[in-house]
Structure 1
Amino acid sequence: MQNGARHALGLVAGLFLPPLIAVGLFYGVDQVSRSYQQFILSWTGLGVLLVSGILLAFLLGSRLSPVASLVGGLEFTVFGFLPFLDILGLHLIPDRMFGDVLWSGFLTVAYTGLLLMFGVMLLVSSAFPSRWRSSAPRAITAGPAYGVIPPYQGPEDATRPLHRD
């Protein structure tokens, strides 16, 4: 795949996957924490958390363009800083930005710093120069250093018999 197409797909993945990961994370954390309070396990919440983890790993993967992790990292980092700005007195988080099901999970994930951690993790993974290079291997030209050594073509003697096929 050419670099342009790879980066375009990375941009699309970077725009659409982080909101899905965040919603899954908010829902899963809410369901699991509510079920722990009742001394049971929410398999649905746990499954949604696992799917969110798989999608996050997909963003971090080296085969995907680093544009995906760069855009996703910026999204998570911006939303990860909002609770800390709220503590400092700059209230930028709207009240009840989500429904009741996601609100508790959002508050738990945001105020513990997990959104900021995911954002920094995605930004750092996109900083490696090897991820920005094309994944297509370079062609190796055959030459004396890489080619096959030709058989001896000199005169025949007892130490060097000619191989005739």
Structure 2
Amino acid sequence: MSNGARHALGVVAGLLLPPLALAGFLYGIGEILFQSRSTLQLPWHAVGVLAAAAIVLAFLVGSRLSPVASLIGGLAYTGLGLLPLLEYAGGPVLRQDWLPARVNDGYLALGHSGMLLFVGVLLLTVSLFPSRWRAAVPEPLSVSPAYGQGSSPYLPEDATRPMFRE
């Protein structure tokens, strides 16, 4: 894959995967909070959604696709993680009803605990490594000029003969 195609796919992945993972995190945490308060049970479907969101986030962090994906996601997560800090400093920044109730509970839990900021800085840091910006080019195989010609100093003349033992 060419370097341009890899970065183009990284932009597409960076625009699609971080919001998908964020929606999974916010819904999963909000559903767990709601169900644990109301029925004192752990909703396993919400745990599955959290696991799927974590897999998507792990793909963004560890993928060889392009660092643009983690860069775009890191900027978004860092921005959302900084909003609660701005609320501490000066007052409300967002309206309280901008998300559905359970998803808003998840945002408040993740945002005010600092996890969104942590994930954002993680994604930004991962995208800074220079090795992720370079294309993965396989090294050419080097064959010695005497390959197949004459005898090798490492092999006996007749390789089928048993080894000499003292």
TM over 0.5: yes
State how many pairs are aligned. 152
- CA offsets per residue over residues 104-128 of structure 1, 9 Å max, x none? 1111111101100000010111111
Question: What does residue range 133-152 of structure 1 map to in structure 2 within 5 Å?
Answer: 133-144=134-145, 148=147, 150-151=149-150
Q: Aligned partners of 1:139, 1:97: CA distance in 2, in Å?
A: 55
Q: Aligned partners of 2:131, 2:148: CA distance in 1, in Å?
A: 34
Structure 1 gap segments, 5+ residues each: 153-161
Question: Which residue of the partner structure matches residue 34 of structure 1?
Answer: 34
1:151 is aligned with what amino acid?
G
2:5 is aligned with what amino acid?
A
Question: Which residue of the partner structure matches residue 20 of structure 1?
Answer: 20
TM-score, normalised to structure 1, is 0.84
User: Do 1:74 and 1:123's aligned partners in 2 also have CA atoms closer than 8 Å?
Assistant: yes
Question: Which residue of the partner structure matches residue 156 of structure 1?
Answer: none
Q: Aligned partners of 1:101, 1:23: CA distance in 2, in Å?
A: 11
TM-aligned CA deviation for residue 86 of structure 1? 0.8
1:103 is aligned with what amino acid?
N
2:16 match: secondary structure? helix
Question: Which residue of the partner structure matches residue 5 of structure 1?
Answer: 5
Alignment root-mean-square deviation, CA? 1.9
Q: Aligned partners of 2:4, 2:93: CA distance in 1, in Å?
A: 36
User: Do 1:76 and 1:116's aligned partners in 2 also have CA atoms closer than 8 Å?
Assistant: yes
1:118 is aligned with what amino acid?
V
TM-aligned CA deviation for residue 21 of structure 1? 0.9
TM-score, normalised to structure 2, is 0.83
Q: Aligned partners of 1:62, 1:51: CA distance in 2, in Å?
A: 16
User: Do 1:83 and 1:93's aligned partners in 2 also have CA atoms closer than 8 Å?
Assistant: no
Identity across the alignment (%): 44
Structure 2 gap segments, 5+ residues each: 152-156, 159-166
2:100 is aligned with what amino acid?
G
User: Do 1:27 and 1:105's aligned partners in 2 also have CA atoms closer than 8 Å?
Assistant: yes
